Amino acid sequence: MVLWTTEVKAVPPNSANDKLLAILACPKCHGSLKSIDEPEGFACESCGLLYGVDDGLPNMLIDDARPWPEGGAEASS
């Protein structure tokens, strides 16, 4: 019986994001999210918000979300 191991299993680059995307939804409109590489986060195309990733964890607080795409319609008005 193994209680402890130092073996590290490689995770394909986007598999974690794919798993998160399957269960996460936009907290504001409940729309689907897509993974964004730069800036790192999850974007909702329905309501135009970007939820950032802080210290490797998605920050899904509506108050902390930023407009997406950056420099979009709100910025040009």
Query: Whole-prediction pTM value?
Result: 0.67
pLDDT per position as a tens digit, 15-49: 666 787 888 899 999 999 998 888 899 999 899 99
Mean pLDDT score across all residues of the chain: 79
In the chain, the domains with their CATH numbers are 16-65 (2.20.25)
What residues contact residue 21 under an 8 Å CB cut-off, 6+ apart?
Answer: 32, 33, 34, 35, 42
Alpha-carbon distance values, 62 to 35, 58, 68, 70 (Å): 17, 12, 13, 16
Q: Tell me which residue has tokens 């394909």.
A: 12
| pLDDT (0 to 100) of residue 49 | 96
